[in-house]
Chain A
Amino acid sequence: MTIRFHYFANPTRALRVAKTLLPFSLAAMSVLLGWGLWLALYASPPDYQQGEAVRIMYVHVPAAWMALFVYIIVAAGSVSFLIWRHPLGELIAEAAAPIGACFTALALITGSLWGQPMWGTWWVWDARLTSVLILFFLYLGYMGLRNAFDDPAKGSRAASILAIIGTINLPIIKFSVDWWNTLHQPASVLRLGGPTIHPDMLWPLLIMAVGFKFYFLSVGIIRLRNHVALRRLQALSLLSSDSSSLAAVRLSSVAPFFAMGGYAFYVWPAYGVTFCVLAILFARSAIAMRRNEAAVQRLPSPQSVS
């Protein structure tokens, strides 16, 4: 069977690179997140204005950066898929989207937890928060649309178009909410992270940010391998077409051994949620990948689907 179906194109070279990259990525992720956590929770100084609550910034800001970064990846993958018919672009977009959605949700949740002690409110309709909220719905819409079709190929094409629409719309949304805010809130004193960042705070921030990037790379590779394995299995009609699902977001319980200057109620849940969500996402992706790659290994004869 020498059918050349682009949808089933096996990006073997990319996969081989990914497989060799994974252990290094995991190692980098662990080292950076570990170091970042130590700096963030212990070694870095509290803020003179915000006290210990500023530590939430070290998960909140990187999460927000990742939310945007992953969306760019999803959009780029979708563009390369639609214009150049590059199957790898589509696979990357599919693998990345749930990770982006998780980071967006985390940015919103940790932002809320940071906002309450700082601004006295769980939510504020400023341009950045509103755009991130819309970004979250864009992710949900993207994943929902992809899964709404019986034919997975149709789903991926429709979702790719949607990703591109969202990309055009995101700056417009940011601009319009900005305009709306300037119209309604002439005096805005809300700033995230303070006016300038002292290097003692910059380092943990950057390390956590890079650590998150390696998390994304690691989980992205795992999900990519999972999706490639799934498609091979689907091609042989061994599975139904419904594969990916949202990782559930659960709040963790707090084990307060460090009062965090009275902000424990906010800081610990922020970190707890972040690492719970990221760990659950990681675990689910890894388990699914193991299972599906094992199933592919057990296939009777190696048909060359290329």
Chain B
Amino acid sequence: MMVFFALLHRELRLAGRQKFDVTLPLAVAVLILLLFPLSLGPEPDLLRRLAPAALWIAALLGALLGLDRLFHSDFDDGSLDQLILSGLPLPLLVLGKSLGHWLLTSLPMTAVTLLMGIFLNLPGTAFLPLALAMILGGASLTLLGTTIMALTLGARRGGALTGLLLLPLTLPIAIFGAGTVTAALSDLPTRPPLLVLGGIFLGCLAICPFLAAIALREALD
């Protein structure tokens, strides 16, 4: 639909005007990843064993940081009202915002974590499963994050609350995502956890836009 692409275009152009908002999550993720080898010591085996967890924690935190741009700036200047009043179906609006976030934060985050994987001594075979897991998991994280942001839109102290609400929900993604990399490192099949991640993604895709749409409507009531 033309309107959907207009929305996406708007999101991307806005991000282009506010580049700092977009690069900040990436910078934070990189810094956190750097802290791991610095605090654990450079021993390659240890780094390799901790790499899956470290990469996912960093990606999760980085994605969390990028989420507050999603609705709040539009809410604060009144453009969220205008977006909804343009007659765009709300689930589509949510999907458009999520896709924007995924393209701007999640996808670059995947690229960065792959790069950091090199610094953490991941073997070559682990990179493809890691990339796939990050893409699927990142998309699910984005959808879940969008839903939670919509829920906390009108709340006081929304920021801290978002973390508390989001992190339990992202646990399965972290488990299977890190599990994918661990499986790759131990020469176990990576397809089962990847399939689960795919399933979680499809589930999120089916449910989150509608739940977020309900939450948005409530927030603006």
Q: Mark A residues whose CB is within 8 Å of B.
A: 82, 134, 137-138, 140-141, 144-145, 148-151, 154-155, 157-158, 161-162, 164-166, 168-169, 172-173, 175-177, 179-180, 183
Contacts and interface: CB of A to CB of B under 8 A. Distances in A.
A162 B165 contact: yes
B154 A151 contact: yes
A168 B161 CA distance: 20
B154 A165 contact: no
Interface stretch (B29-37, B62-70, B109-117, B171-179): B171-179
10 contacts: A137-B167, A137-B168, A148-B157, A154-B154, A158-B151, A158-B218, A172-B200, A173-B168, A176-B175, A180-B179
A161 B151 contact: yes
B6 interface: no
Given A149-B154, A158-B155, A140 B147 contact: no
B215 interface: yes
A148 B161 contact: yes
Judged by DSSP, the binding face of A is helix
Given A144-B165, A173-B171, 7 more contacts: A140-B164, A154-B219, A161-B218, A162-B151, A172-B172, A173-B168, A179-B196
A141 B152 CA distance: 11
B17 interface: no
B105 interface: no
Contacts of A150: 154, 156
Contacts of B196: 176, 179
The winner among A140, A155, A166, A169 for most chain B CB atoms within 10 A is A169
A35 to B, nearest CB: 37
Contact of B155 (A145, A176, A177): A145
A66 to B, nearest CB: 20
A88 B108 CA distance: 47
A138 B157 contact: no
A165 B147 contact: yes
Interface string B179-221: 1001100000000010010001000000100010011001101
- What are the 3 closest A-B residue pairs judged by CB atoms, nearest first? A148-B155, A176-B172, A141-B165
B84 interface: no
Nearest to A133: B168
Nearest to A184: B182
B169 interface: yes
A169 B169 contact: yes
A179 B207 contact: no
A138 B168 contact: yes
A6 B78 CA distance: 29
Contacts of B175: 176-177, 179-180
Contact of B218 (A157, A164, A177): A157
Nearest to A176: B172
A134 B164 CA distance: 11
B158 interface: yes
The winner among B154, B167, B176, B182 for most chain A CB atoms within 10 A is B154
A154 B165 contact: no
Contact of A161 (B179, B182, B211): B211
Given A183-B179, A183-B182, A165 B169 contact: yes
Contacts of B200: 172
A225 B165 CA distance: 29
Given A134-B168, A158-B151, A149 B161 contact: no
Contacts of A158: 151-152, 154-155, 215, 218-219
A155 B158 CA distance: 12
A304 B179 CA distance: 60
Contacts of A144: 161, 164-165
B168 A141 contact: yes
A179 B179 contact: yes
